[in-house]
A and B are shown apart, each in its own frame.
Chain A
Amino acid sequence: MSRTFLGLPPFGAASQTATTNTQLRHNLRHASHTIRDRRAEVVTERADWPQLRAAGAAIKDRTLRHLDHYLEQLERAVTAAGGTVHWARDADEANAIVTRLVHETGEDSVVKVKSMATQEIELNQALDQAGITAYETDLAELIVQLGDDLPSHLLVPAIHRNRSEIREIFASQMHRWGRGAPSDLTDDPHDLAEAARQHLRDRFLKAKVAVSGANFAVADTGTMVVLESEGNGRMCLTLPQTLISVVGIEKVVPSWQDLEVMLQLLPRSATGERMNPYTSTWTGVHAGDGPQEFHLVLLDNGRSSVLADEVGRQALRCIRCSACLNICPVYERTGGHAYGSVYPGPIGAILTPQLGLVDREVARELPYASTLCGACYEVCPVAIDIPEVLVHLRQRSANGSGHRLERASMAVANWMLADSTRFSWIQRAASAGRHLAPRHLPGSWGRAWTDTRNLPEIPAASFRSWWSSRTSSTSGTQRDDRHD
């Protein structure tokens, strides 16, 4: 039923195709610049943003340092409040737990709150194989699901679609999933939202089981927190009888004081809002109010091994705000699908390979999907030094297979640069042959440059030979400082 990222080409090939898609380029340029500008406005108005950002990073680091402690505290608090905690080592375990829990309710469908963790483990596909239909209720996830598409952004999964494409999808697909779109549907955003509202309202009133993720899990009270814009999440969190939340183990924060910092950082960084429209919090179960059964599935799925990497572990601070995607000049030109994973953009390029979510070939190319311009690090509300982690992961890739030619080129470059006399001879040879230099270079790297860009002219003499002739003609006092 729904597509998966499995088998998509690696970034190099995928991004090449993406850059030629003019509609995609236009949609992304428009959307990312809009969100980016809004974020800049609401972040700049906070004079204490650098302090907030440092606090966010410190809270996350402290929690990750004592993760075992806080997770057990969370488990005790959730259990005391009437919930049940399940531990899942990987995607298969998590999917099996959720499938079993749904089967136990006797239902054959669930409504879903937008959740990256369930995307990561491909829960919808697992449920489908067990005869359970998962209905996405976040507007953008609904667009992706109805279009048999893949999400391309953490927060705005249908960011690659414009409103006329959305109208097409609603008009042709909505009736297959439930209440259809009106026959006179236009691409006016109000019309589109109204069609989705009618379609989803039916669904909410029938649903008995909901599946969610959580933005944060507060350890000392056992409280789950979801931030959203539409209110559809709150419908799922309050109307059904059973609520199952799948939450990555890095989502825990020690206390509400820590949550307070995060609730300032996240909406400003994510949607460029001072405060998001809906913040739902729930703690276990309450008689006669909301779901009467609550299950928390704590998901590892590679996080423990990321935590063991001293440089890479900062990726676990991520609060999935998407500011790095919205500012990234590479993401803006390729879109999310090119990254071949549910986690696209700069954060995806460091999270996907570390969590081991994709094939080796896709994972190997992801750390190179960046110019290291540093804009992602600058906007990150929890100060993840994404370029540092990218370079760290490149070191791993470069040592693996598939980089033989590159390793050889680097070795040649190093040989030339290891001795200044040798380097100067090579410069002289280049200058002597400068008129023979081709305008179009051979080889894949050569062609990659000269297909679209001119080469610089090789000068008649290098700087060092100019310097030598200058000092020998002016003073003769030059001291020989070569040590090779």
Chain B
Amino acid sequence: MRIALFVTCVNDTLYPRTGQAVVRLLERLGHQVDFPQAQTCCGQMHYNTGYRDAATDLAVRFLRTFQDRAEAIVVPSGSCAAMIRDNYPRLGAPESRLRRVSAQVTPRVYDLSEFLVDVLGITDVGAYFPHRVTYHPTCHGLRMLGLGDKPTQLLRAVRGLELLDLEGAAECCGFGGTFAVKNPAVSTAMGSDKARHIAATGAEVVCAVDNSCLMHIGGTLQRERAGVRAVHLAEILAATEAEPIPA
């Protein structure tokens, strides 16, 4: 299958290893990955903060870049995938060209975990990751995309991986995009509770499908010297005995 990767601006700039992991994983599974270089950002931050016009500009850029490009557009971020699939259809005027193109493109957009489980129909991707891991279901993946247990199905099939239950898993980590800096006290209070629950599992690694949430959780864990690291699901699924990810 010909797959286009929308890596997202956050992964592109700050977490290139996640994008590299997606490429390695999908190629290992026998698929061709394309990275349309005109891509930048889905506009989620603008949209969620109240800047609909700016978000619309970025949505137009995304749609132009990915229109007619591939059978599937894979996004290693639950919230960016949700922005595109749930919110793009609300942009533009009814009957506008934007709405029409949006209706064609957005159903082909998948978060990595749902692409693997629903589209490719696989849960065992041949990964090896000999670590104790706990999984944090990020809000937009859980409640907007309805990922359910797809990410944990994938994790359970990873050899060597011990998956540990997280208390209060479905509760937000407190990131919320600009919420983290507009209401830092509440954001920190939520992040601190999330970090405490993660540490209590005894895991070495907390895993999620979204690096922006992991930036918040990981930044909190690091500041607290909690001894747990944050790793994107793609990196765990890409890891093998021959090519482990650096600790």
The bracket for how many chain B residues form the interface is 35 or more
Please list 27 pairs of residues, one from A and one from B, whose beta carbons are closer than 8 Å in the complex, sorted by A's number: A19-B189, A330-B186, A371-B139, A371-B187, A372-B179, A373-B139, A375-B172, A393-B50, A395-B51, A395-B52, A398-B49, A411-B54, A413-B46, A419-B40, A420-B40, A445-B181, A448-B180, A449-B180, A452-B191, A453-B180, A456-B219, A459-B17, A462-B12, A462-B16, A463-B18, A467-B19, A482-B37
Interface residues, chain B, with chain A CB atoms under 8 Å away: 7, 9, 11-20, 23, 35-41, 45-52, 54, 57-58, 61, 64-65, 139-140, 143-144, 170-172, 174-191, 215-216, 218-220, 222-223
Q: Is the CB of B36 within 8 A of A481?
A: yes
- New A-B contacts (10) at CB < 8 Å, excluding given A413-B45, A463-B11: A371-B139, A375-B170, A375-B172, A377-B143, A414-B54, A417-B61, A451-B184, A467-B19, A467-B35, A480-B37
Closest residue of chain A to B190 (Cβ to Cβ) is A329
Task: Of the listed stretches A10-18, A46-54, A190-198, A284-292, name the one at the interface; the rest are far from the partner chain.
Answer: A10-18
Q: B50 to A452, Cβ gap below 8 A? A: no
Q: In the bound complex, do residue A484 and residue B12 qualify as a contact, i.e. CB atoms below 8 Å apart?
A: no
The residue that B14 contacts in the complex, of A368, A417, A456, with Cβ under 8 A, is: A456
Lowest 9 A-B CB distances belong to which pairs? A371-B176, A394-B50, A398-B50, A453-B219, A373-B172, A448-B184, A463-B19, A463-B16, A374-B143
Pick from B13, B182, B219: contact of A368, CB under 8 Å:
B182
Measured CB to CB, the closest approach of chain A to B31, in angstroms, equals: 16
- Are A464 and B38 within 8 A (Cβ)? no
Separation of A467 and B17 alpha carbons in the complex (Å): 11
CB of B50 within 8 A of CB of A417, answer no
A329-B20 contact given A406-B49, A418-B57, A452-B223, CB 8 Å threshold? no
| Contact of B38 (CB < 8 Å), options: A330, A413, A481 | A481
A413 to B223 CA separation, bound complex (whole angstroms): 27
Query: How many residues in A have their beta carbons less than 8 Å from beta carbons of B?
Result: 69
- Write the chain A residue with the least CB distance to B90: A388
CA distance A463 to B218 in the complex (A): 20
Contact check, A370 vs B176: say whether CB atoms are below 8 A apart: yes
- Whether A464 and B12, one on each chain, are in contact in the complex, defined by CB atoms closer than 8 angstroms, is yes
Contact assessment for B222 and A454 in the assembled complex, using a CB-CB cutoff below 8 Å = yes
Which residue on chain A has the smallest CB distance to residue B69? Answer: A481
How many residue pairs link A and B with beta carbons under 8 A? The number is 192
Q: Within the complex, what minimum Cβ distance (angstroms) separates A331 from chain B? A: 10
Cβ of A334 within 8 Å of any chain B Cβ, yes or no, is yes
- Per the bound structure, the CA–CA distance linking A464 and B218 in Å amounts to 24
Question: Known contacts A11-B183, A19-B185, A423-B40; is A453 also within 8 Å of B45 by CB?
Answer: no
CB closest residue in chain A, given B35: A467
Q: Which of A378, A418, A449 contacts B181 (CB 8 A)?
A: A449
Q: Which residue of B lies closest to A16 (CB)?
A: B185
What are the residues of chain A within 8 A of B19 when measuring CB–CB?
463, 466-467
Contact present for B58 and A417 (CB under 8 Å): yes
Report chain A residues within 8 Å CB of B187. Answer: 371
Provide the residues of chain A in CB contact with B184, threshold 8 Å: 16, 448-449, 451-452
Q: Is the CB of A453 within 8 A of B54?
A: no
Q: Which residues in A have their C-beta under 8 angstroms from that of B9?
A: 417, 423
Shortest CB-to-CB span from A22 to chain B, Å, is 11
> A369 near B: Cβ within 8 Å?
yes
Q: Which residue of A lies closest to B20 (CB)?
A: A466
What is the chain B residue whose CB lies nearest that of A25? B189
How far is B12's CA from A462's CA once the two chains are assembled, in angstroms?
6
A369 to B178 alpha-carbon distance, docked (Å): 11
**Minimal beta-carbon separation of B44 from chain A (angstroms):** 10
The listed residue (A378, A391, A467) touching B48 by CB distance below 8 A is: A391
State the CA gap A289–B38 with chains docked (Å).
76
Contact A371/B174 with A391-B48, A410-B46, A452-B191 known, Cβ cut-off 8 Å? yes
- Residues from chain A with Cβ under 8 Å of B45 in the complex: 413
How distant is B82 from chain A, measured CB to nearest CB, in Å? Answer: 9
Interface string of A343-376 (1 = CB under 8 A from B): 0000000000000000000000001111111110
What separation, in Å, do the CA atoms of A415 and B60 have in the docked complex?
15
